[in-house]
C-alpha cells in the first residue's frame, strides 16, 4: 500500500453507502441498523469481497477464539481487491492467528491476577480498570483482551457490578475509574447513565474515563442524546482507538466533534501494527487528521504479546523511528507517547529515541531533530563573595 495516498491534506471522506448501494440514509445513520447488519460469517463477507486463502482459512478457524464482526460503516473502508488493505488486516481473521509463538501470552497485561472482584482490575494505587462488557461493535484481531472479548473464547468475562461498586466505595485510594471491556458505548444511554451516576455518587472518585472504539467502528452511535447524557458526568474523558488515517471519515469526524462539543477531552490510543501503520508517513497523516477531529494523539502502543499476533507485530525500532520522524517535524500536540505495556503486568513503559549524546556532571550534550548538537550546562554553585 502506498502510504503517500494517506496524506493528511486530503479531505476527510464519507464512505457511505459503498457495499450497501440500496440502503436509505435513515437506515445507514441508525446505529441499530448498523449493528443488525454486521458481517459475522464467511458467507456474508464473500458477498462483498474476494478473500485470500489466508483470510478464508483464518475466518474458518477463528470461531472459538475471537469472533469476526464488522459494521457496515467499517466494512465500507475495506479495499475490495487488496488483501493487504490496512483496514482488512485489522478486522478480517487470517490463518497466521493460529501460529504459536512461545513468547505470546493469553493475558499479556497480567490483568486477571489483579482483580479484587471479577471484572475490576486494580493494579495501580489510585486507579482501576472496570471491564463492563465483553462485546464490541467490531472485533480487532490484535485485541489485548481477546481471551474474553466477543464471548466465544475459552474464558468468559464475569463482571460483578454490585461487588465492584461496593469495592470502590470502600477503597478511598481510587480516584480514577476507566470503563472499558469490550466497548462501554455499546450500552444504551440509560444503562451507561446508571453506571456513571453510581460512580459519581462515590465521593473519592474524581475522574472517569471511557475507552471506546465505537466512534470509529460505529459513529452513528454518537448521537446528541448520548452526548447530552455524558456531559452530566464531568470530568469525563474518552480514549478513542484509531490506527489508520482511512478510519477518520466525515461521519467519524462529526461524531468526534459532537463529543468534543459536549466538553469531553479525547485522546487517541493507537496500536503499532505491521503493514497497517508502521511507517512515518501513515502515522503523520493519522495524527494530523486526529487533531482535525479534535482528538489528541495520546499513546502509540507496541502491540502486546497476544496469542496469534505475530503477523501484526513490528519491531521496536520501527516505533522509535516513527517518533523520531514526528518529533520536531510536526506540532508537539500531534505526537503520541510510544509505550510498551510490560509483558505480564509491568504497566506502560515510555520509549523515546535517545537525544542525549553525552551527560557529565557539568553539562549535557543533546542532538535535536536535525541531528544538530547543543550543550546545556548543569547548574554550578556560584560564589556570592569572591
E-assigned strands of 246-295? 266-272
Nearer to ligand SF4, 91 or 168 (CB): 91
Smallest separation (angstroms) from ligand SF4 to the CB of 149: 5
Nearer to ligand SF4, 76 or 133 (CB): 133
Q: Which of 124, 153, 154, 170 is nearest to 341 (CA)?
A: 124
**Of all residues in the chain, what percent are helix, strand and coil, respectively (each to 5)?**
35, 20, 50
Among 183, 247, 278, 304, binds ligand SF4 (CB under 6 A): 183
Smallest separation (angstroms) from ligand SF4 to the CB of 332: 27
Catalytic one of 145, 209, 246, 289: 145
Nearer to ligand SF4, 28 or 74 (CB): 74
Does 305 bind ligand SF4 (CB under 6 A)? Our answer is no
The β-bridge relationship of strands 356-359 and 347-351 is unpaired
Which residues have C-beta within 8 Å of that of residue 214, sequence separation ≥ 6? 137, 183, 185, 186, 221, 222
Cell of 343: 509483558
Instruction: Give the range of 5-13, 76-84, 142-150, 188-196 binding ligand SF4 by CB under 6 A.
Output: 142-150
Q: What is the strand order of the sheet 373-377 is part of?
A: 356-359, 363-367, 373-377
Q: How far apart are CA 61 and CA 63, in angstroms?
A: 6
Three-point CA angle 30, 36, 37, nearest 5°: 90
Among 85, 95, 149, 236, binds ligand SF4 (CB under 6 A): 149
Smallest separation (angstroms) from ligand SF4 to the CB of 304: 10
Does 182 bind ligand SF4 (CB under 6 A)? Our answer is yes
Smallest separation (angstroms) from ligand SF4 to the CB of 28: 21
Which residues have C-beta within 8 Å of that of residue 262, sequence separation ≥ 6? 227, 228, 230, 231
Assess whether 296 carries a catalytic annotation.
no
Among 213, 221, 288, 289, binds ligand SF4 (CB under 6 A): 213
Count, residues near ligand SF4 per rule CB under 6 A:
11
Does 89 bind ligand SF4 (CB under 6 A)? Our answer is no
Does 301 bind ligand SF4 (CB under 6 A)? Our answer is no
Assess whether 140 carries a catalytic annotation.
yes
E-assigned strands of 96-167? 120-124, 127-131
Nearer to ligand SF4, 64 or 81 (CB): 64
Which residues have C-beta within 8 Å of that of residue 99, sequence separation ≥ 6? 308, 310, 311
Catalytic one of 85, 143, 293, 303: 143
Assess whether 136 carries a catalytic annotation.
yes
Assess whether 127 carries a catalytic annotation.
yes
Does 145 bind ligand SF4 (CB under 6 A)? Our answer is yes
E-assigned strands of 262-336? 266-272, 296-302
Smallest separation (angstroms) from ligand SF4 to the CB of 141: 8
Assess whether 293 carries a catalytic annotation.
no
Q: What DSSP designation does 109 have?
A: T
Assess whether 145 carries a catalytic annotation.
yes
Does 108 bind ligand SF4 (CB under 6 A)? Our answer is no
Q: Which of 210, 185, 202 is nearest to 265 (CA)?
A: 210
Interface ranges with ligand SF4 (CB under 6 A): 136, 139-140, 143, 145, 149, 181-183, 213, 241
Active site residues: 123-124, 127, 136, 140, 143, 145, 304, 341, 348
Amino acid at each position: 500500500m502506498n502510504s503517500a495516498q494517506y496524506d493528511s491534506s486530503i479531505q476527510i471522506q464519507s464512505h457511505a453507502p459503498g457495499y450497501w448501494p440500496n440502503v436509505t440514509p435513515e437506515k445507514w445513520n441508525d446505529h441499530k441498523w448498523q449493528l443488525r447488519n454486521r458481517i459475522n460469517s464467511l458467507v456474508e463477507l464473500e458477498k462483498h469481497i474476494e478473500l485470500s486463502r489466508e483470510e478464508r482459512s483464518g475466518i474458518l478457524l477463528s470461531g472459538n477464539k475471537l469472533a469476526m464482526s464488522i459494521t457496515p460503516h467499517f466494512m465500507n473502508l475495506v479495499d475490495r481487491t487488496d488483501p493487504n488493505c490496512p483496514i482488512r488486516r485489522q478486522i478480517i481473521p487470517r490463518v497466521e492467528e493460529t501460529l504459536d509463538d512461545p513468547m505470546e501470552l493469553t493475558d499479556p497485561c497480567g490483568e486477571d491476577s489483579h482483580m479484587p472482584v471479577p471484572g475490576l482490575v486494580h493494579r495501580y494505587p489510585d486507579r482501576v480498570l472496570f471491564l463492563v462488557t465483553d462485546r464490541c461493535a467490531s472485533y480487532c484481531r490484535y485485541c489485548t483482551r481477546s481471551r474474553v472479548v466477543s464471548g466465544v473464547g475459552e474464558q468468559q468475562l464475569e463482571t460483578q457490578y454490585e461487588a465492584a461498586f461496593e469495592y470502590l466505595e470502600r477503597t478511598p485510594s481510587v480516584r480514577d475509574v476507566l470503563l472499558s471491556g469490550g466497548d462501554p458505548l455499546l450500552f444504551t444511554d440509560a444503562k451507561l447513565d446508571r453506571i456513571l451516576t453510581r460512580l459519581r455518587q462515590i465521593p473519592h472518585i474524581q475522574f472517569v474515563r471511557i475507552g471506546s472504539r465505537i466512534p470509529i467502528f460505529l459513529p452513528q452511535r454518537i448521537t446528541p442524546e448520548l452526548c447530552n447524557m455524558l456531559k452530566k458526568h464531568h470530568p469525563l474523558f474518552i480514549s478513542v482507538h484509531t490506527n489508520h488515517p482511512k478510519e477518520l471519515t466525515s461521519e467519524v469526524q462529526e461524531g468526534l466533534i459532537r463529543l468534543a462539543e459536549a466538553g469531553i477531552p479525547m485522546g487517541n490510543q493507537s496500536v503499532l501494527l505491521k503493514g497497517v501503520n508502521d511507517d512515518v508517513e501513515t502515522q503523520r497523516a493519522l495524527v494530523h487528521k486526529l487533531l482535525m477531529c479534535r482528538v489528541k494523539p495520546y499513546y502509540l502502543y507496541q502491540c502486546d504479546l497476544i496469542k496469534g499476533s505475530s503477523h501484526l507485530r513490528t519491531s521496536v525500532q520501527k516505533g522509535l523511528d516513527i517518533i523520531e520522524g514526528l518529533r520536531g517535524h510536526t506540532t508537539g500536540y500531534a505526537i503520541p507517547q510510544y509505550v510498551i505495556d510490560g509483558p505480564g503486568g509491568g504497566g506502560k513503559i515510555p520509549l523515546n529515541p535517545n537525544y542525549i549524546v553525552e551527560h557529565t556532571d557539568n553539562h549535557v550534550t543533546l542532538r535535536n531533530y536535525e541531528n544538530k548538537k547543543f550543550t546545556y550546562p548543569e547548574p554550578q554553585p556560584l560564589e556570592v563573595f569572591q
